[in-house]
Structure 1
């Protein structure tokens, strides 16, 4: 497989070469907590949590190996998907589906958008426009709340 390895990401973190890291909790956590999309005390995961700012409010999960003992209420997914080699995207999507209970929330912070006609399978995907959350680097992340079918 070609693409980022565990060592690649470890070296980036050790060198503090992590420009996507806000240095704080994503500002999108507050609106999702306020509207009930996420709730303190829910069974939740933060795959690929990086520096772990959001883990302070939620919990951590290993991306391709870990399985919860019970389905989760929510997953806060902040660009972990784009850090995974494309060969593993289908496996990761299946993991997210397995982790969530029916009706569970996938709170997705994405730098990408779904292409017209792309298969979305087991996740209910809302129509655009999506909330754009400013990033300290001048980027914009899309805040998309998805529901497991």
Structure 2
């Protein structure tokens, strides 16, 4: 699965985030080893995710299904805010057919590998023409069903 490189297999800048929080809460971009050592000294008791920092547009796709029968929905673009995480969901997106097919393939494989029974979304970031999986949320998202509905007429709740 294409994903950010974990520390120490990547270079600065890196992303340090608590594994027990949601969204951008507690997330820090670290640009130097001095800054990194300072963070580690203060958060030694926490479980941290430390990985390559990626910049680029962020995309999301929902997948729903049961017992190996899965359906993906429209890909949406996520606009982020430093204080509130996702501030807006846009649809449709200009991603290109090849990247759309790649994203759908990744999502369907994750759903199958996890034996999904329900709904989840997969978030990616596009950096240097490549999609990298950032996270999976196993829940009905708050904004995406509305964006998909008004863009396509498809009601994923139904």
TM-score category (smaller protein): under 0.3
The alignment's TM-score, normalised by the length of structure 1, stands at 0.28
Radius of gyration: which is bigger? 2
Q: Which has the higher strand share?
A: 2
The alignment's TM-score, normalised by the length of structure 2, stands at 0.27
